[in-house]
Structure formats: C-alpha cells, structure tokens
Chains A and B, each alone.
Chain A
Amino acid sequence: MKCTFTLNGKETTVEAGETTSLVRVLRDACGLVETREGCGEGQCGACLVFVDGNLVNSCLIPLFRVQGAEVDTIEGLRDRRLFTELQAAFDAKRVFECGFCSGGVLMAAYSLLLHARAPSDEAIRDALSGNRCKCGTYPAIFEAVQSVVATRRRRARRRG
C-alpha cells in the first residue's frame, strides 16, 4: 500500500506491505536507523517513537495504522532543548555501553519529562520500565534522568 503520514514534521509517502511494522518502514524505507528493532514483540522499548504524540513501540504498529498520522522519531528531536539536555546528562554520566537501547531510553525519558516537570523517583522508574538494557545500565540511566530533573528544580527555584 501507499501510505502518507507526517514524519518529523514533513509529509512522507512510502510504499510497503500494509502490515509491515512501522519500525521496518522507518529503517528500511525512510533511512531513520536510530529507531532500532530489538525483540520485535513490544517488550524491549528499543523502537519507541511518537505517533500523534503518544509514545508507542513501533514494532507493534502496522503501516496502515499511521496513515495520516504524525510520527516523530529520535532524529526529529535532535534540536529540541529538552532532548539535548537529556543527551548531555547521559553522556556526562557515561550511561550507555553498547548503545543499542539508547534511542528508546532517550525517547522514554523525553516523553516523561515532556509531561512531568519534576517527576518523582518512582515516576522515573515507572516511565523507564518498558525499556530493556541488556548491558544492565539501569542505575546509570536512572541517575542521568534524575540529574536532569534536579537541574530543572534548581532552575525553577532560581526563577522563584
């Protein structure tokens, strides 16, 4: 099928099987390779993207479901301040080892901080519980997100 949707702010048309998973379309047809395919079962979170503002596992979304939708991938967030803050915090904490899960983790953290100004530790853990890191870097991921939240709190206090 031919499917037209808005990808990172630009109208995009692709041709693929209607049940082809969105992650394969993004990677193979659109060349956006930082959305990764891990388990293919919606359990590892490596393929997280926004569809109409909702964070979803793109391995579970068939192409026909995004007809007319707005799809945002990690490549589309590059210039956003919150994303660069998160990326800087993850780098400062030397979080990732192999980096395979990195895109999905950053997307989940971005989604959390987009909707919650200063989430609790529990909320951070909950928000990132759908992401699997085979290298086991969970404590460092947690610390990196916490550090962004702490920076936000400090900034808010300064503003009074």
Chain B
Amino acid sequence: MNAEQIRNRTDALVKRVYEASQKAALPENFVLMGDDGVLDSISILELVVALEREFGIEVTGEDVRPENFQDMSSLTVFIANKMSHS
C-alpha cells in the first residue's frame, strides 16, 4: 500500500469517526486531538480500533501520543511506519 492509499483510507476512517459530511480530503494540519482537536479520547479509541482493522497493525497504549495522533499528517506517517514494521 503506498502513501497516498494510506492517506485516503485514513481520511475516510477519521471522517467516519468524526462524523464529518465533507467530501474533500482533510488537510494535513487537521488537528485530531489536543487543544484544537475534534476528537475526544473515546473517539480516538474508536479510531484506533478502526485503524487496526483497516491496516492490520497493532496500536499500543504508548503509541497514542501527540507525535502520532496530533493531526492527519502525523497519523499517516505513524500508520506507514507501523505497516513497514509489521
């Protein structure tokens, strides 16, 4: 799976959890969690479950941190790294 496919699938999953109706892709700096984030901790849990199912990766407790889940860009990089190591 290439980077664009990962980005597109991640985009669809985030939109589903966020319940966003927009069709355009979420911007790279779209903040997921934190001060300006759109997701709460339970939504992140839902997203993690969806990511594991979609990409066949395993997300540990420690993986859920700002470097990986802050915004769309960091999340896409995180998934790519996880896939390359699995």
**A and B found bound together:** no
Please report A residues at the B interface, Cβ cutoff 8 Å. none
